[in-house]
Amino acid sequence: GAVVSQHPSRVICKSGTSVKIECRSLDFQATTMFWYRQFPKQSLMLMATSNEGSKATYEQGVEKDKFLINHASLTLSTLTVTSAHPEDSSFYICSARGFREPYEQYFGPGTRLTVT
């Protein structure tokens, strides 16, 4: 089956610093990847859709200058949280769209970010 990795799994950073999270599709090429955020006991919230070789499409209310997304290759997308604040502490999950029907999304294991 399709495998998606995510790194790091946990990160603690200080307020004002930047953190980069990597999402890789290990055994397939993903033209489309998604970035989600999930606060405790809440549902997944789609932040942005990342298409290889083009600019990401951000959901309403998500600051594109704060959450920088780069999808430079068919197997790698990165999310950089810039000038992190404690309220950015959350569980960040990436997913990659499957390469054939039904085009389900394969999720990475997630990254727990804590901003102190």
Partner 1 sequence: GQNIDQPTEMTATEGAIVQINCTYQTSGFNGLFWYQQHAGEAPTFLSYNVLDGLEEKGRFSSFLSRSKGYSYLLLKELQMKDSASYLCAFMDSNYQLIWGAGTKLIIKP
Q: Which residues bind partner 1 (CB under 8 A)?
A: 34, 42-44, 46, 49, 91, 93, 95, 97, 102-110, 112
Identify which of residues 87 and 101 has a Cβ nearer to partner 1 in the complex: 101
Instruction: Kindly give, in sequence order, each residue whose CB lies less than 8 Å from that of residue 75, ignoring residues fewer than 6 positions away.
Output: 24, 25, 26, 29, 30
Report in angstroms how near the CB of residue 83 gets to partner 1 at its nearest: 26
Report in angstroms how near the CB of residue 80 gets to partner 1 at its nearest: 20
Identify which of residues 46 and 74 has a Cβ nearer to partner 1 in the complex: 46
Do residues 83 and 18 lie in contact, with contact meaning Cβ atoms separated by under 8 Å? yes
Report in angstroms how near the CB of residue 109 gets to partner 1 at its nearest: 5
Do residues 30 and 52 lie in contact, with contact meaning Cβ atoms separated by under 8 Å? yes
Q: What region, left, alpha or beta, does residue 61 occupy, with left being phi > 0 and alpha being psi -120 to 50 degrees?
A: left
Identify which of residues 13 and 107 has a Cβ nearer to partner 1 in the complex: 107
Identify which of residues 65 and 101 has a Cβ nearer to partner 1 in the complex: 101
The amino acid occupying position 93 is I
